[in-house]
Amino acid sequence: MEHSRLKIAIDCDDAATGLKKVLFDYLVEKGIQITDLNYRGAGSAMYPDIGYHLARKIKEKEFDRGILLCGTGLGMSIVANKVEGVYAGVCHDVYSAERLCKSNNAQIITLGARVVGPELAKKIIEAWIQSEFEGNGSLAKVKRIHELESETFHALEV
């Protein structure tokens, strides 16, 4: 998909409001279609609620990709992966951000505001946006992830 046509959602918890603003403004400036879900603004939601909310939007195809921010990126990654068919990974370097899409076909990237600074975060997000799933040798592995996921999301009841 052409990068300017990507529909991206972004959200964060209290630990990452500053980084969210920096990344939101950066992507708007680059002409990327981005929506700040600001789920926290609807009340005092905790990061699990914020991350789950964005991941559901991805599953429902309201957005192509999502950016979730918290102190480390770890908690947001864990909760986003609780939504069937949605894949997230925490990235604190450019190479991992590229591989998140190219090898793993993940729709959500998570970052930690207490781990990366604003300039590095911009580079990470830029690399992630520019990347697309390559398939190739990774295709069988991603298919296997889907198969394993269906075993736990739809486990047979005895």
Cite the active site residues.
70
Q: What is the distance between the alpha carbons of residues 67 and 13, in angstroms, rounded to a whole number?
A: 12
User: Alpha helices of 9-106 — where are they, by DSSP H?
Assistant: 17-29, 47-59, 74-80, 94-102
CB 107 within 8 A of CB 66: yes
Instruction: Specify the 3-state DSSP secondary structure of 140.
Output: helix
